[in-house]
Amino acid sequence: MTEPELLFDPTDPTVALDPFPAYARLRETHPVWRSPASGIWFVTRHADVHASWRDKRLGSSFSHRYTAEEFLTDGALPPWYDARYPDFAAFERWDLISLEPPDHTKLRRLVVEAFTPRTIERQRPIAQRLVAERLAAGRESGSLDVARDVAEPLSLAIICDLIGVPPSDRAAILALSHDVVGMYEPQPPDEKKARANDAAREFMQYTAGLIAERRRAPADDLLSGLLDATIDGERLDDAQVTSTVMLLLMAGHEASVNAAGNGVAAFAAHPEQWDLLRSDGSLLKPAIEETLRFDPPLQFFQRWVLEHDFEVAGTSVPRGARVGLMIGSANRDPRRYPEPDVFRIVRGDASHLSFGGGIHFCLGAPLARLELEVLFGALAEALPRIEVLPGAVRRPGFQFRGYSSLPIAPTA
C-alpha cells in the first residue's frame, strides 16, 4: 500500500514561514483533509470552520463524557496525556480552553465578570503611556524593534497589571509562557514537550506563591477577584485559580504580540494602505480587523469529535478523532472574501475567525483590540511610512505565527 500523500505539512519550516499558498492548494481540493502524520482532520473553508466552532458534536475535551479507553478510535491523544508530562496535565485539567460545560460555563462566567469593559478601558491610558515612551526611546536611540521593544512589553504589562503580577517577575513569566505553549504545536518533538512540562511546573509554583500572597493581603486586581468570587456559593479552589491565571497570562500576550507584528509587517508591505489609514482615523478599527484576517496570530485550534454522526463538508469524521479548525485558511477563503490575498483595510467585513467562535470565543478580544488600537494609532501618528529593516525574524513553529524580532525605522 502506498503512503497517503502529505498534502500539508505544518512541521515544514517553509510552510510555517508562509502557510498561505499551501492553504490555498489544500482548500481547493480538500475542504477536510486527514493528516497521516498527526491524525488530525484539518477543516479548511470559512463556512465549515465557522459552523464547526458552534457544533455541539465537537468538544474541546472528551473526558466530561468518556474515558480514553472507550473514546479513542482514531488518532492519538495530545501530548499532555502522556504520563511523562504530569505537570502540564495538571495545568490542562482546569484550562478554560480545554473545558466543556458545565465546568466551562461556570469558570468562564467568573472570569468574564472580572473582565468588565470598565476594567479593560482603564488600561487604555497605561497602554498609551507605555507605547509613547517606547516610541520616543526608539527615536532617541535610532533603533526600534516593534515586536520586542513595543508589542511584547505592552501586552505583558497590561495583562500582568490586570492580574497583579509585579513588574520584577514579568521577564520570567514571558520565558515560561513561551516554553509552555510549545506543547500546542501539531507534532512537538520530545525535547520541546519536556521543556513545556518543566515550564508548566515552574509556572504553577510561581502562581501558587502569588495566590498565597493575595490570600494574606488582597489587592485591587483580578487575582484577588478570582480568589474572592463564588460560583453557586462555592469558591474556586487553588488548582482552578492557578490554571486560570496561567491561561490568562499566556493567552493575554502570546497572540496579541504576534498580531501586532503581523499587522506592522502587512502595512510595511502595503504602504498605500498605511497612507489610507493615516488619512482617515476612522479606519483604525476596520484596519485592525483586516490585519487579524489577513495574517492571524493563531493558525488553528483542535476539537474532539464526540458523536458518531459527525460530518463536515460531506465527509464523515469518526468519533474519537480530532479536527483542526484552520483559522489561517478560513480567513483567506475566496468563497467568503473577494480577492482574499489582498490586504485591504476598507473591506468593512470583520467576519474573520481569528478570535474563534462559539462558547470558547476569545475572552480577551476587547483587550487585544484595545492594545492594537493604541499601538497602530500611535504608529500612524508618528510614522508616515513603515519600513522594516534587515534582521526581522519570524517565530519558529506553525501554531503561533508572528515575529520574535521586527526592527523598523523609528523615524520617517
Active site residues: 251, 254, 256, 362, 371
CB of 363 to ligand HEM, least distance (A): 4
Closest to ligand HEM by CB, 60 vs 242, is 60
In a 3-state reduction of DSSP, which class is residue 63? coil
Q: Give the three-state DSSP class for 304.
A: strand
Q: Is the peptide bond before 125 cis (omega within 30 degrees of 0)?
A: no
d(CA 367, CA 370): 5
Per CB under 6 A, residues contacting ligand HEM are 60, 96-97, 108, 159, 247-248, 251-252, 255-256, 259, 297-298, 301, 354-356, 360, 362-364, 367-368
Shortest Cβ 156–ligand HEM spacing (Å): 11
Least distance from ligand HEM to the Cβ atom of residue 412, Å = 27
Preceding amide of 286 cis, omega within 30: no
Ramachandran region, residue 32 (left: φ > 0; alpha: ψ -120 to 50; beta: rest):
beta
Q: Which residue is nearest to ligand HEM (CB)?
A: 364
Cβ proximity to ligand HEM: between 247 and 410 the closer is: 247
Please report how close the Cβ of residue 162 comes to ligand HEM at its closest, in angstroms: 7
Cell numbers for 230, please give them.
463564588
In the complex with ligand HEM, which residue's Cβ is closer, 28 or 121?
Answer: 121
Q: Which is nearer to ligand HEM, 145 or 161 (CB)?
A: 161
In the complex, least distance from residue 137 CB atom to ligand HEM, rounded to whole angstroms: 24
Q: Which is nearer to ligand HEM, 78 or 252 (CB)?
A: 252
Q: Are 58 and 305 in contact (CB under 8 A)?
A: yes
Tell me phi and psi for residue 59, to 5 degrees: -145, 155
Cα separation, 211 vs 396, whole angstroms: 33
Q: What CA–CA distances, in Å, run from 8 to 34, 41, 176, 191?
A: 10, 11, 30, 24
At 5, the amino acid letter reads E
Nearest to 390 by CA among 151, 145, 153, 152: 145
